[in-house]
Amino acid sequence: MSNHSPASTGRELAQIAVFAGIIAVLGLIPAIVPVGSAVPITAQSLGIMLAGAILGPRRGGLAVLVFLALVALGLPLLAGGRGGLGVFASPTVGYLVGFPIAAVVIGAMTQAVGRPYRLVLGIGINILGGVLLLNLLGVIGLVLRADLGVGAALVAALPFVPGDITKAILCALVARGVHAAYPGLLPARRRERADARV
């Protein structure tokens, strides 16, 4: 039998829908296309980080998958009003594939740390999952779809890094506030759970 009541299931579905919407809304912020790059700098990776850091790996990953499903259906939800199956064959495919992976990794590491949410650890987790991992997957996509060598793809990805680090910090600040207001979103730390059993 499932441990989820209809109310908790409805709440989870609402959270997933809200965060899919947040990622879509962040796509309305105009993208910046660096000179010589095939990939625009967008605010949407902030939404990916927020989904993982706040909702955790399962719900955060599902929120991103819902967003990508809507994109695949043709809704112009990506920055610049892009949508449709064609975007998954473009040079940005590595980033798109990386979106749910980054959300899951950030969510899993955030939940492993537990509550209370720690700002410095949160920033580090966001940088690992939302900057390093996401850009690594983006570089792989550029190599495969933009006919770039690994060195050229790394150079093309470099303009993203300062902005992504800024987004990682902003995400951690927002996540800390949300988790302070709703502490039940994160599990207790392992030591706290052990103390509670004594």
Predicted confidence (pLDDT) at residue 57 exceeds the cutoff of 70: yes
Q: Is residue 10 in a domain? A: no
Residue 197 lies in a domain: no
In a domain, 174, yes or no: yes
Residue with tokens 């410095």: 120
Asked if the structure places residue 7 within a domain, the reply is no
Residue 91 domain-assigned (yes or no): yes
Q: What is the DSSP string of 110-130?
A: HHHH-BSPPHHHHHHHHIIII
Does residue 196 form part of some domain?
A: no
pLDDT (tens digit per residue) in 58-100: 999 999 999 999 999 999 999 888 999 999 999 989 999 999 9
In the prediction, which pLDDT does 16 show? 96
> Which residues touch 109 (CB under 8 Å, ≥6 apart)?
125, 128, 129
Indicate the pTM of the whole model. Answer: 0.87
- Is residue 182 included in any domain, yes or no? yes
- Looking at this protein, which amino acid is placed at residue 180? A
Residue 1 DSSP code: -
pLDDT tens for 12-29 read: 999 999 999 999 999 888
- Count of domains in the chain? 1
**CATH number, position 153:** 1.10.1760.20
Domain containing 81 equals: 16-26+37-188
Q: Residue 37: what pLDDT?
A: 59
When comparing pLDDT for 9 and 14, which is higher?
14
Evaluate whether residue 8 is within a structural domain: no
